[in-house]
Amino acid sequence: MSELLQSIINSEDKNDLRSLMSEIRANEKQYLLRNDILNLYNEFCHKYQKKSELSQNSNLSKLIYYTQEIIQEDSNLCFIIRSKIASQEVYRLTPDLSIESMSVQELLDTRDRLVNCYHPNEGNLLEIDFAPFYDYSPVIRDPKNIGKGVEFLNRYLSSKLFAEPKQWLESLLNFLQLHQYNGIQLLINDRIQTQQQLSEQVKSAIAFINNLINTRAGEEPYEQFRFQLQMIGFEPGWGNTAARVLETLNILDELIDSPAPQNLEEFISRIPMIFRIVLVSPHGWFGQEGVLGRPDTGGQVVYVLDQAKNLEAQLKEDVELAGLSGLNVIPKVIILSRLIPNSEGTLCNQRLEKIYGTENAWILRVPFREFNPNMTQNWISRFEIWSYLETYAIDAERQLLAEFQGRPDLIVGNYSDGNLVAFLLSRKMKVTQCNIAHALEKSKYLFSNLYWQDLEDKYHFSMQFTADLLAMNAANFIISSTYQEIVGTPDSIGQYESYKCFTMPDLYHVVNGIELFSPKFNVVPPGVSESYYFPYSRNQERVESDRRRLEEILFTLEDSTQIYGKLDDSSKYPIFSMARLDRIKNITGLAECFGQSQELQKCCNLILVAGKLRVEESDDSEERDEIIKLYHIIDKYDLHGKIRWLGVRLSKTDSGEIYRVIADHQGIFVQPALFEAFGLTILEAMISGLPTFATQFGGPLEIIQNGVNGFLINPTNLEEIANKILEFINKCQQNSNYWQEISRSGIQRVYSSYTWKIHTNKLLSLARIYGFWNFTSKQNREDLLRYIEALFYLIYKPRAQALLQQHNSR
């Protein structure tokens, strides 16, 4: 980008740049973000009547487009330029237009000075840098391949196998010899001792199975020829029928003779090596009934429960296909959460709860140690639980070992707290660790790292962001729901990318917080629970009494305890939204949009399923603020008779049916979040058949193909949202098939890309391949893990103990 800057200074744009810099310095904001920069530049072009060439096609316009942030310091301007995804350059421009490249350290010092809470002359600050620990591992080069880590890893491993066949065949042999289940040897026995024997015996086994199939049938059960295979050197795990065993052996034979990435992935994905899985969600209020009322639990509970059910089903299928049913192999999935004694009538005070619809999937609840019963007997917000996680991991380890009667094979963390506990457990138990963040708070709260000290009493970001750094670097692999969750879009940074370089003034500088080009990142979107969420047109699967009951709740029922508002005309198009009441979900923004548009009010009703109705019923400050705001909007725009606000807690069965009832009425679903990491409600609405309007900021950008199977909206532009909805309604009135066209396209989109079957298959495949990678690469992660431990004990733990002291005094 220095060339672009230099070309501006050497051209006619020089004077415009100087004038623009003067306008920026006149701006009251010291810190301008991208939207601020674009708006200021547009105002500049309009004010000085600049030609369209300057505003659209000039080098100056390119510079403005690529500039992510501008910081004013004295008379100088610091330009943070993101010319391509996952990389940035920083330059200081002086009033005389001299250009100075700035280092990461200089940028962080500049940001610190901006908040006036750190003075370089008083001493240096701790610098955190994870870059050296990625030097020994392969790195993706092309940004578009970020999030396709396993594909890159397969190519890398295949090339190593091809280039160094002897070494890698030895590693493969050793890997195959590892696998057991409860002391029973799987895959190969001691009749195969060398690489040569492996290659030869694979061919012998293929010849034997071919002959078997020719004389009998491909569906011959494995147990009928098990002993003959054992004599050749092969134990259970290759398949449940002759045809399946032959298929697996042929893949291995091809892999040995001519390594190819697809063969490697297909073969490793078939190896029976995962039978016991832990899904970690420690902040609690986790159950199957009556637990979706907390502002920070609902979405995660739904996600993890569905994941657990489908993982168990997939593991059972894998065991069957591998031919292990005769060995009494019973997969087990445990959701590790927190036991809460004062559980308010829920089962959150029950240690063990079986998950509905499964054979061996459980919620295991482990209590926080009772440092102060006034705190630990009750639910604690996810922003407050950091003091308890280390001892929680110690206690959870003992209970997991007892439940599994041994170690698990995979630990999956969820959210920041779950990922930290997953790290502590996997470190101790030497188990593969997977991270799933769902949403990283650092991206959701603007300047949350820069002004962390102002927010610390409420959010404790110093511990949360530190926990994120430690867990994401310790993880063997990371699953994100979308590509942009990792590295954003060309004009916005990703959630993980925001951890690359940042400062927490007076605490530490992060010079390199995460390697975005590491193959540990993989995009694996979640799925929809198809037993609850399915198209409205499948009437044979719907329960008529549920449909009538929910239709009454949505449109006509008078219940002042759970419903606010009556509809004057229930025949209008329903605009429907369902989310918790917090600032990010922006339900009040949708209400404001509806209130400002008389045209929308003429043809539509607004129906909201959102949190509590009364301030006194909520113990969350942000939810209380939104409740007050929503009542104010209703009164301000006189929406009485046009809005229904349901403060109800829905079961998953009712949640699925409520989408379908809205679809019966030719309604639409609007998800107006200011930012949405992924958006399960979007998938639920789309698969139900509801035309869906969703925020363009975050995951929905990858789910919805705008105008094809849904619509993207800018939640900050209320007039634009109203116009898009009105345009859709006008098209529906002009073309009686238009609503159905969008509805069908949405349904097809979900079934093609967002099912739990796709998700669990990919997740288990990743776990096996990264397990193989860690074994065969002989990658020494001990130095990285020691560094992470040092940061944990030197930064995280003292702050956690200080918070604990606060809790003990309450």
pLDDT at 317: 96
Strands 563-564 and 643-646: antiparallel
State the Cα angle at 590 between 585 and 596, rounded to 5°.
Answer: 155
- 688-693: average pLDDT: 97
Among 560, 580, 567, 585, smallest CA distance to 650 is for 580
Query: What are the tens digits of pLDDT across the range 72-113?
Result: 988 899 999 998 899 999 999 999 899 999 999 999 999 998
Under 8 Å between Cβ of 715 and 673: yes
- For residue 348, give the CATH number of its domain: 3.40.50.2000
Looking at the fold, whether 221 and 291 belong to one and the same domain comes out as no
The number of distinct structural domains making up the chain is 4
Looking at the fold, whether 749 and 796 belong to one and the same domain comes out as no
Mean of per-residue pLDDT scores for the chain:
91
pLDDT at 59: 87
Under 8 Å between Cβ of 331 and 359: no
Among 709, 678, 676, 677, smallest CA distance to 691 is for 709
- For residue 256, give the CATH number of its domain: 1.20.120.1230
Q: Is residue 606 part of a domain?
A: yes
Query: What are the tens digits of pLDDT across the range 181-203?
Result: 988 999 999 999 998 999 999 99
Quick one: pLDDT band at residue 1, thresholds 50, 70, 90? Answer: low
Q: CB neighbours of 236 closer than 8 A, spacing ≥ 6? A: 184, 186, 187, 222, 226, 322, 323, 324, 326, 327
Which SS3 state, helix, strand or coil, does residue 637 take?
Answer: coil
Q: CB neighbours of 454 closer than 8 A, spacing ≥ 6? A: none
Among 113, 115, 97, smallest CA distance to 105 is for 113
Query: What are the tens digits of pLDDT across the range 664-673?
Result: 999 999 999 9
Under 8 Å between Cβ of 695 and 676: yes
Query: What are the tens digits of pLDDT across the range 339-352?
Result: 999 998 899 999 99
A 10 A CB-CB count for 116 gives 8
Among 567, 568, 587, smallest CA distance to 577 is for 587
pLDDT at 675: 84
Query: How far apart (Å, rounded) are the C-alpha atoms in residues 131 and 732?
Result: 54
Query: How far apart (Å, rounded) are the C-alpha atoms in residues 515 and 501?
Result: 11
First to last CA, the chain: 54
Q: CB neighbours of 745 closer than 8 A, spacing ≥ 6? A: 708, 709, 710
Q: Is residue 674 part of a domain?
A: yes
Looking at the fold, whether 347 and 473 belong to one and the same domain comes out as yes
Query: What are the tens digits of pLDDT across the range 293-326?
Result: 676 666 788 889 999 999 999 999 999 999 998 8
- For residue 56, give the CATH number of its domain: 3.10.450.330
Q: Is residue 512 part of a domain?
A: no
Looking at the fold, whether 83 and 208 belong to one and the same domain comes out as no
- Per DSSP, the residues of 244-279 read HHHHHHHHHHHHHHS--HHHHHHHHHHS----EEEE
Q: Is residue 93 part of a domain?
A: yes
Helix (H) or strand (E) holding 791: helix 782-791
Q: Which domain holds residue 58?
A: 2-102
Looking at the fold, whether 89 and 174 belong to one and the same domain comes out as no
Q: What are the distances in angstroms from CA 239 to CA 2, 266, 323?
A: 59, 14, 5
Looking at the fold, whether 84 and 207 belong to one and the same domain comes out as no
pLDDT at 121: 46
Burial pattern 194-231, b for ≥16 Cβ within 10 A else e, equals: ebeebbebbebbbebbeebbeeeeeebebeebeeebee
Under 8 Å between Cβ of 796 and 463: yes
Looking at the fold, whether 263 and 291 belong to one and the same domain comes out as no
Looking at the fold, whether 563 and 604 belong to one and the same domain comes out as yes
Query: How far apart (Å, rounded) are the C-alpha atoms in residues 397 and 733?
Result: 60
pLDDT at 126: 94
pLDDT at 620: 80
Query: How far apart (Å, rounded) are the C-alpha atoms in residues 457 and 443?
Result: 19
pLDDT of 118 above 80: no
Query: What are the tens digits of pLDDT across the range 485-541?
Result: 999 888 788 999 999 999 999 999 999 999 999 999 999 998 888 889 999 999 999
Query: What are the tens digits of pLDDT across the range 412-444?
Result: 999 999 999 999 999 999 999 999 987 788 887
Looking at the fold, whether 749 and 763 belong to one and the same domain comes out as no
- 39-61: average pLDDT: 78
State which of 753, 771, 793 marks the end of a domain: 753
- 161-169: average pLDDT: 81
Helix (H) or strand (E) holding 467: helix 461-474
Q: Is residue 571 part of a domain?
A: yes
Query: How far apart (Å, rounded) are the C-alpha atoms in residues 517 and 525?
Result: 19
Query: What are the tens digits of pLDDT across the range 645-669?
Result: 999 888 888 999 999 999 999 999 9
pLDDT of 122 above 60: no
Q: Is residue 75 part of a domain?
A: yes
The alpha carbons of the chain give a radius of gyration, in whole angstroms, of: 29
Among 433, 432, 507, 430, smallest CA distance to 465 is for 507
Burial degree of 97 (CB within 10 A; 0-12, 13-18, 19+): middle
pLDDT at 775: 86
Among 517, 311, 527, smallest CA distance to 412 is for 311
- 57: DSSP letter: I
pLDDT of 35 above 90: no
| Six token digits for residue 223 | 């147990």
Q: Is residue 398 part of a domain?
A: yes
Query: What are the tens digits of pLDDT across the range 361-419?
Result: 999 999 999 889 999 999 998 899 999 999 999 999 999 999 999 999 999 999 999 99
Under 8 Å between Cβ of 619 and 337: no
Looking at the fold, whether 737 and 785 belong to one and the same domain comes out as no
Under 8 Å between Cβ of 631 and 595: no
Looking at the fold, whether 560 and 702 belong to one and the same domain comes out as yes
Task: Provide the percentage of residues in the chain whose pLDDT is more than 70.
Answer: 97
Q: Is residue 72 part of a domain?
A: yes
Query: What are the tens digits of pLDDT across the range 208-265?
Result: 999 999 887 779 999 999 999 999 999 999 999 999 999 999 999 998 888 888 888 9
Quick one: pLDDT band at residue 34, thresholds 50, 70, 90? Answer: confident
Query: How far apart (Å, rounded) are the C-alpha atoms in residues 411 and 403?
Result: 14
Looking at the fold, whether 322 and 406 belong to one and the same domain comes out as yes
